[in-house]
Amino acid sequence: MSNKLHVAIVGATGAVGVEMLKTLENRNFPVSELSLLASKRSTGKKLTFKGEEIAVQELTMDSFKGVDVALFSAGGGTSKEYAKHAVDAGSVVVDNSSAFRSDDDVPLVVPEINAADVASHKGIIANPNCSTIVTVMALYPLHCAFGVKRIFASTYQAVSGSGAMGIVELERQVGEIASDKKASKIVYPHQIAFNVLPHVDDFLDSGYTKEEMKMENEARKIMSLPGFKASVTCVRVPVYRAHSIAVSAEFEKPVSISDAKNAIDSAPGIDLNDDIANNSYPLPLDVAGLDNCQAGRIRQDCAFDNGLSFWVVGDQLLKGAALNAVQIAEEVAKL
């Protein structure tokens, strides 16, 4: 590919699409031309990139002529319908939906972990699920040190994981409750303000949700660990931005707290924040807007012989979505 690339963002007006645009600018990605694509109702809306206003165009099957990299974040249905047209036009698709993550021919990439897998792409590269990315950012360095076998985890997922409308719903409900009105529900089946919902994504026959199974299935692929197991409960919490995950992990080798902290501290893309004497540990309020994830509360798990418990937080719109996608595009640009 040339030094500068023609980049398209599909779903440019959505929460992740807007973050993709900002991330391209913040990381000084080598953009020669930028196409902002969305549904017909967003056509003509203008977004700013490096001080220049760019009009959003309607997404069609002919939108990808001359496009080198297409960043998709408009839902699985849109990806399944349009990704093939992008690939046929010569684009490399970086897809943020779940449409292709389980496809054996599609690399599932977190660049700090398996950037080399990008080279095996056949036109499409998948961006993992947001809570999976945040979790493996802390888990993988520990796996490298001790060899992970399985985890039990609970997520605390921000409303922005549901898109812009999740934020709107929480804001609206807080206002309604403050005005002694009944909270109206559109996005979630129950009130989210001042509440927690043990329900993210659709339920499966097993009783787990799709979101919960993504952690096991996607982490296996990212870390190349087909035997890895994860039992997860995904919870939506009244936080605007940044996902938090509490993890108890069992390892093959005996664990050391000092070695665990050193593994996290030396790993790319994640910062150690673990000073309980001074009440310092990762908080979504602090991590929102940051590129790096943070891990803390690292301790020996009292239920496993070779176990560690830890708390990891990451901005799911950035590392959990837009930033990771742009980092993948940076790897594509190196090919």
Q: Which residues are catalytic?
A: 130, 243
Q: Are 23 and 328 in contact (CB under 8 A)?
A: no
C-alpha angle 132/281/291, rounded to 5°? Answer: 50
E strand or H helix that includes residue 299? strand 293-300
Name the phi and psi angles at 38, rounded to 5. Answer: -160, -175
Q: Cα(31)–Cα(114) distance, rounded to whole angstroms?
A: 24
Ranges of H-type helices in the chain: 15-26, 76-88, 111-114, 130-146, 164-178, 210-223, 257-266, 284-287, 323-334
Q: Are 138 and 145 in contact (CB under 8 A)?
A: no
- What angle separates helix 130-146 from helix 210-223, to the nearest 10 degrees? 40
Q: Are 208 and 175 in contact (CB under 8 A)?
A: no
Q: Cα(63)–Cα(33) distance, rounded to whole angstroms?
A: 13
